[in-house]
Amino acid sequence: MNYRGSKQRERILELLKKTHSHPTADWLYMTLKGEIPNLSLGTVYRNLKILVEQGLILKLSFGSTFDRFEAKIAPHYHLVCENCGVVDDINMPQFSQINAKAEKLTLFKIVRHQIYFFGICDKCLG
């Protein structure tokens, strides 16, 4: 099958919807390249950028070397293992007033916030 442009993007989005590991662009590329022969890491990045712009996926940046991506776009907080780098969702209600509090302290119009909890995951703890 010949995959081009939007078809590649569709497959990236499908894979992101199926996986909950908040993968990197590299992981998506390695996973899909067998299925999509003309795929390159550059096209994966380009498609991810478009999907982020379309609001279909989120990009997670928290100072690690690689950006991570996910298709779960409802607001939620994250756990990050400082030992193995695993990123997980935490099922915890959003702090609804925190945006308004931050707004009172600044001239910013706050639209969203993110929280990352850093620590050691259960697997690394043994």
121 binds Zn ion (CB under 5 A): yes
Nearer to Zn ion, 81 or 110 (CB): 81
What residues have CB less than 8 Å from 22, skipping those under 6 apart? 60, 68, 69, 70, 78, 87, 88
DSSP secondary structure, 38-62, as one string: T--HHHHHHHHHHHHHTTSSEEE-S
Q: Rule CB under 5 A: which of 51-80 touch Zn ion?
A: 70
Length of the chain: 126
Q: Would you say 33 or 85 has its CB closer to Zn ion?
A: 85
Out of 54, 61, 83, 114, the residue judged to bind Zn ion by CB under 5 A: 83
Determine if 84 is a binding residue for Zn ion (CB under 5 A). Answer: yes
**Using CB under 5 A, which of 50, 81, 110, 115 touches Zn ion?**
81
